[in-house]
Amino acid sequence: MAEIERWLELLEDKGGRITGPRRAIVELMVNSDHALSPVDVFDQARGKYPKMGLVTVYRTLEILSEMGLVERVHQSDGCHMYLRAAQGHEHLLICSCCGKAAYFSGDDLGTLIERISRESGFSVQSHWLQLQGLCQKCQPVKIHPSVS
Amino acid sequence: MAEIERWLELLEDKGGRITGPRRAIVELMVNSDHALSPVDVFDQARGKYPKMGLVTVYRTLEILSEMGLVERVHQSDGCHMYLRAAQGHEHLLICSCCGKAAYFSGDDLGTLIERISRESGFSVQSHWLQLQGLCQKCQPVKIHPSVS
DNA sequence: CTATCTGCAAACCGTTTGCAGCGTT
DNA sequence: AACGCTGCAAACGGTTTGCAGATAG
């Protein structure tokens, strides 16, 4: 996948070095359609780079996040997960069962935001919209929650 | 304020006891129009009840939150703040400078959510919408950020 | 060869839990 | 008097930092 090389080149352009651990993490993040916690990334990336340390995962995700290639997803319990960044103005739809994530666009919040600004006197800087639901795979699971 | 008594009565109805620390925290939460962190609550409530312990703040906020009188507000850094709960279906507008909060209603996400459900195959369970901005007081502050 | 990156261990910070004593009812 | 609540101290879990050795360029 050329996208992996693109990320690594951007990293290099920034003066960073391309190393085994970083390559493994980038490969994972480029390809995953699930939001992943640092520990998820650690576990999965160890398959490709067994000496991987958890600290390196944190540091690399931080860098990718600063570069705008990856974004932090906020969980209701306060933990963070990471996901390939949106392209342009997109919002997130996340499966509350398995963490599968999809971006969507076409929210029309402009009118609402304008009204709220006018009524409240706030100058609105940004908005945060996220939908929670069940993906196709997980819908049957939750309908019969007797699985536990 | 009768609202304070209402909260305390609800607490009593649930089998809870009305104590000094709880009264101080309830008074604070009923009256505050800012989202407050547990430490904020601790500091401010100590004015009314000097022996207050931070643990009691956590435990009381947890109870008020379970009762639906207070809600957790998620911060981008993963920390939690607490705020008097919304009435019905309202969303939050928060000042990114001072934390002043206001609820608004009248979002019309129904159409959007229906479309996304159809296109993605997800069954959407809930949504999470929050606007960040600057309140009237803080707008001049940020225009001249030399204050630091 | 040099600067960056890595992994370990330890520090850190917000939050939760165990427990003995106190206060409400 | 009985039970719930409180505060302290200690545990906890996710995240960050200090450091010496490894490695990319």
Write out residues whose CB is closer than 7 A to strand D.
A 12, 17-20, 37-39, 54-55, 58-59, 62, 79-80; B 15-17, 19-22, 49, 51-53, 55-56, 59-60, 78
Global pTM reads 0.88
Tens-place pLDDT, residues B69-81: 999 998 877 789 9
Bases on strand C under 7 Å from any protein CB: 4-9, 14-18, 23-25
Tell whether A120 and A74 lie within a shared domain. Answer: no
User: Exposure pattern of A11-48 as b/e (b: 16+ CB <10 Å)?
Assistant: beeeeeeeeebbbbbbbbbbebeebbbbebbbebbbee
Nucleotide with minimal C1' distance from the CA of B55 is D7
Q: Does residue B143 belong to any structural domain of this protein?
A: no
CATH number of the domain that residue B69 is part of: 1.10.10.10
Q: Would you say residue A144 has pLDDT above 60?
A: no
Cα distance from B124 to chain A (closest Cα, Å)? 4
Tens-place pLDDT, residues A83-129: 999 999 999 999 988 889 999 998 889 999 999 999 999 999 989 99
Q: Does residue B2 belong to any structural domain of this protein?
A: yes
Task: Please report the pLDDT score of residue B141 as a whole number.
Answer: 66
Q: Would you say residue A143 has pLDDT above 60?
A: no
Q: Does residue A142 belong to any structural domain of this protein?
A: no
**Which segment of A5-9, A32-36, B49-53, B96-100 scores lowest on mean pLDDT?**
B96-100
- On whether the CB atoms of residues B116 and A95 are closer than 8 A, the answer is no
Tell whether A7 and A43 lie within a shared domain. Answer: yes
Answer yes or no: do B122 and A136 touch at CB < 8 A. Answer: yes
Q: Does residue B45 belong to any structural domain of this protein?
A: yes
CATH number of the domain that residue B130 is part of: 3.30.1490.190
Q: Which domain holds residue A54?
A: 1-85
Bases on strand D under 7 Å from any protein CB: 4-9, 14-18, 23-25
B69-78: long-range contacts at Cβ-Cβ below 8 A with a sequence spacing of 24 or more? Answer: B69/B7, B69/B10, B69/B29, B70/B29, B73/B35, B73/B101, B74/A74, B74/A76, B74/A78, B76/A72, B76/A74, B78/A74, B78/A78, B78/A79, B78/A80
